[in-house]
Amino acid sequence: MASIRIAIVGVGNCASALVQGLGFYGRFPAAAGLMHRRIGGYTVDDIEIVSAFDIDRRKVGCKLSDAIFAAPNNTTVFFRKVPGSRVTVQMGPVLDGCPAHMGEFAPRERFEPARRSPVDVARALRRSGAQVLVNYLPVGSQRATEHYARACLQAGVALVNCVPVFIVSDMRWARRFTQRGLPCVGDDIKAQVGATITHRTLVRLLRERGMKLESTYQLNVGGNTDFLNMLARSRLASKKISKTQAVLSESGGTLEPGQIHVGPSDYVPFLKDNKVCFLRLQARGFGGVPMDLELRLSVEDSPNSAGVVVDAIRCCKLGLDRKLAGPLRPVCAYTMKHPPVQMPDHEARLALDAFAQS
């Protein structure tokens, strides 16, 4: 089967985990860790990177196979012989993809844009032959994400939007992709087993077992540049909406908005790409008797997301093969925190499987 040609925007930890994973499963196809070994006949090994964009001086102009290991990336290195040695990272537009406060920290985290003119993204996508663009821009990059979404529309490229900037779940943008005849999947990637999927599962468990959830919080800390970026609270609005609605959708409408708090809490440098999540759920059961549940979850953040992105990419390619246009709703519901239509995770899994086999 023909390869799935992808472009990557943002060569950070998430891109590093994805690129390493493509090499890893190409070498060890039977290894554990995949939710789907095949989707519509496509394996992870069918994904080929043909283009990459960033703005960091340490990455622009470098081979992708080197850039994914450049500072400030700090995710676990689980596979060194990665693909992408023929792909050079190109300079994208800076716009709002460079948070001003990032320059206030230690040299490793200090960010400076490359002193290069940005490429014409739509033209670069057409020249590379990319079929799907994977967006890994920082949280809060509204203008930059919209720029790449427009480039997809101009170049005829499908979109997998992994960040909490609402494109696929925005009716206006969704209509533009539909009119252009392009599939899209988004918004805000849902990790394989992360804070949000765990929180949703526990909320659903309480509801299905007759418990009344009265309050809950999810507090997250980590040491990657995502958490550093989110110290600027002004960039967090869509992230909090995405994570909060993902949890509220499983509560059955019984939880008051003021009784839920979900969001990143702090940047702890020595944690690196490790994300630590603290959950608490307070509920009442039989006879109105109270129950408290507390949970601590520790995960390597970026590989956790890559395990889902490989499914979203393959489903997006299936959409292209079948000439589908606009949001692929079952795929969005299963792989994203803020899809156009929320679904319980077990129903979304069945819907995605049906989509892959139809």
Burial of 80 (0-12, 13-18, 19+ CB in 10 A): exposed
Residues 86 and 213 in one domain: no
Residues 135 and 267 in one domain: no
Domain finish residue from 280, 301, 322: 301
Residues 176 and 222 in one domain: no
For range 203-225, the mean pLDDT:
95
Residues 351 and 243 in one domain: no
Rg (CA), the chain: 20
Residues 152 and 177 in one domain: yes
- CATH number of the domain residue 293 falls in: 3.30.360.10
- CATH number of the domain residue 16 falls in: 3.40.50.720
Structure confidence by residue, pLDDT tens digits, 279-308: 999 999 999 999 999 999 999 999 999 999
pTM of the model: 0.94
Q: 8-12, 28-32, 37-41, 265-269: which has the minimum mean pLDDT? A: 265-269
Reference 250, options 308, 287, 196; nearest CA is 196
Q: Residues 4, 133: contact at Cβ < 8 Å?
A: no
Residues 252 and 332 in one domain: no
Structure confidence by residue, pLDDT tens digits, 143-196: 999 999 999 999 999 999 999 999 999 999 999 999 999 999 999 999 999 999
Residues 61 and 154 in one domain: yes
Reference 11, options 105, 120, 106, 111; nearest CA is 111
Answer left, alpha or beta for residue 70, where phi above 0 means left and psi between -120 and 50 means alpha: beta
Residues 150 and 236 in one domain: no
Residues 263 and 312 in one domain: no
Residue 282 sits in which domain range?
195-301
**Residue 230 pLDDT level (bands cut at 50, 70, 90):** confident
Q: What is the pLDDT of residue 105?
A: 57
